Every structure is written in C-alpha cells, then in structure tokens.
C-alpha cells in the first residue's frame, strides 16, 4: 500500500508541470491534446514492441479501453482551454473540483450509496471556485472550461479504476493514448472551425516540449496512476490530486510571475480548497487507518 501512495505522489508532482506546458507551447488546446496523445501512443508502442511486452487484445477490448482514452483527451482540451482563457493558476485550481464530481458520479456509475460526507467536504472546493468566479470576472470563461475539465477528469478516473483490475498498466496506457488520439482526430476538424489555429504543425521548440510533456508528464505519470489504482480508490486518487494546484501555482509564480495578476478573491477561494483538502485527507486516514502521503 505504501508503494502505491509513493507512486501516486510522484504522479502528482509530474502533473504539477503539465499546466505550464499549456502556456509554454504555442498551439491551441485541441492541437496540444492531440499531439500529446499521438506522441505518447508512439512512445508506448515503440517501448512495448522493443521489450516484447505489447499485449494483443480483441478489437472490442481495445475499443473499450480506447474510449476511456477519448474521455481523457476531452479532459485535456478543456483543461488547456481553461489555461489559455484565464491563466495557469486558475486552470489548475478548477481541476481540484475533480474530487467533488468524483464523489457524486462514482456512486451513480458504480450503483453505490452516495457518501454525503465526501460531498460535503469536497463542496468546500466548489465554494472556493465560486468565490474566484464571483470576484474575478476576467477569468470566468476559463473557470467554466476548468469545471467541465474536472467533470471529464472524474469520469476518466472512475472508469480507469475498473480497467486496472483487468489489464496491465502498459496495455491500458497504450490503448488509451491510441484511442484518445483517434477519437480527437474525428472531432478536431469541427473543433478547429470554432477555434481556428494559427498553424497546425508545431515548431521545433514546441515539438521538443511536446515530447517532454508526453514522455514524463503523460506516459510515466499515467503508468504510476494506473499502478496506484490497483490498491487505492478513485476517490482517494482524485483527492490526492488536489495537491496538483499547489505545485503548479508555485511554478507559475516562479516562472511566469502570475502572483501579479491574482486577486485577493483568488487567494480566499484557494484557502477554501486547501481546507477541503486537509479535512478530506484527515477523513480518509481516519476511515481506512492508512497513511495519506503528502
């Protein structure tokens, strides 16, 4: 169990860097997501082919895993869109709503009883987002996109929890990256009609950052997540991911000096999210008598 928490925490650290790439790479949110899936899929395919670990699955099972990769791709589009239309800090704070939506959607999808404690505690995160939404009018579109991103993130985590009980992590990641890329390929032309891109092919600099994003913050990160989900619930994974905004905001302040554009309302809202995180961590630890690694 301790190993799983360590894997999860390393994944959260890697996730902390993903928000920076949304601003660093000069492509729109749809193209960043598509290239990220494409490069990640190619990296996984080459690695598994060379090592002989590639597992052949029936088409029906590939489609099942790939469809969840498509959900991941949609999450990325809205996540990077949130960053593009607000800033890195606002985008990742909205991502903290994943645990709130997980508390609602997981019981409905898995046909289990709702935990009103989970909903109540994670609702503090919702209050924090509402405060930021009400006080920072310039960020409202980015916040709406971030909320939608959190919904898809929760759905991905819930469905992925089922897959890890049946398949190896390598198989899941490969088929999700390929499936997500194929899914976005079909919708990308429509997306580009509403959100035209200045150019479709990344520059050499952007391509280099896309490779870093794909190898370390995608393949390695999701390998650690899927491995951790074998021992840890999807709610706890979503909960622990509330730490991601802290890492990303710190990086955004250091690299892009975003503290200069963040208002008092943002920090008040962030304090609600931190209180929610602390209370939920305490609850999980008390309920399961397991360490929640911070």
Q: Report pLDDT digits (tens) over 132-147.
A: 777 667 788 998 999 9
Residue listed under structure tokens 């999980």: 284
- pLDDT < 50 stretches in the chain: 289-294
pLDDT at 147: 92
Within 13 Å and on the Cβ side, how many CA atoms surround 210? Answer: 25
pTM of the entire predicted model: 0.85
Cα 15–165–42 angle (5° rounding)?
A: 50
pLDDT at 30: 96
Q: Compute and round to an integer the Cα radius of gyration of the chain.
A: 18
Residues 6+ apart with CB under 8 A from 112: 106
pLDDT at 29: 95
Nearest to 288 by CA among 216, 236, 234: 236
pLDDT at 290: 45
Residue spans of the domains in the chain: they are 2-288
Residue listed under structure tokens 């989970």: 118
């Amino acid at each position: 169990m301790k190993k799983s928490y360590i894997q999860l925490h390393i994944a959260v650290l890697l996730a902390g860097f993903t928000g920076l790439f949304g601003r660093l790479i000069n492509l729109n949110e749809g193209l960043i997501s598509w290239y990220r899936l494409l490069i990640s899929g190619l990296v996984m395919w080459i690695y598994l082919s060379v090592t002989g670990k590639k597992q052949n699955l029936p088409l029906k099972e590939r489609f099942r895993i790939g469809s969840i990769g498509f959900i991941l791709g949609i999450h990325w589009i809205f996540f990077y869109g949130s960053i593009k239309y607000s800033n890195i800090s606002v985008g990742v704070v909205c991502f903290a709503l994943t645990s709130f939506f997980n508390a609602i959607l997981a019981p409905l999808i898995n046909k289990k009883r709702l935990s009103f404690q989970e909903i109540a505690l994670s609702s503090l995160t919702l209050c924090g987002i509402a405060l930021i939404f009400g006080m920072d009018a310039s960020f409202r579109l980015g916040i709406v996109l971030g909320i939608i991103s959190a919904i898809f993130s929760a759905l991905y985590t819930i469905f992925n929890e089922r897959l890890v009980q049946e398949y190896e992590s390598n198989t899941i990641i490969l088929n999700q990256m390929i499936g997500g890329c194929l899914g976005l390929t079909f919708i990308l032309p429509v997306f580009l009609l509403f959100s035209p891109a200045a150019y479709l092919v990344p520059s050499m600099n952007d391509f280099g950052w896309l490779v870093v994003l794909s190898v370390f913050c995608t393949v390695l990160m999701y390998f650690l997540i899927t491995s951790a989900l074998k021992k840890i619930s999807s709610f706890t994974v979503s909960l622990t991911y509330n730490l991601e905004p802290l890492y990303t905001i710190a990086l955004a302040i250091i690299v892009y000096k975003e503290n200069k554009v963040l208002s008092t309302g943002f920090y008040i809202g962030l304090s609600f999210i931190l209180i929610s995180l602390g209370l939920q961590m305490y609850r999980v630890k008390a309920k399961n008598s397991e360490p929640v690694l911070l």
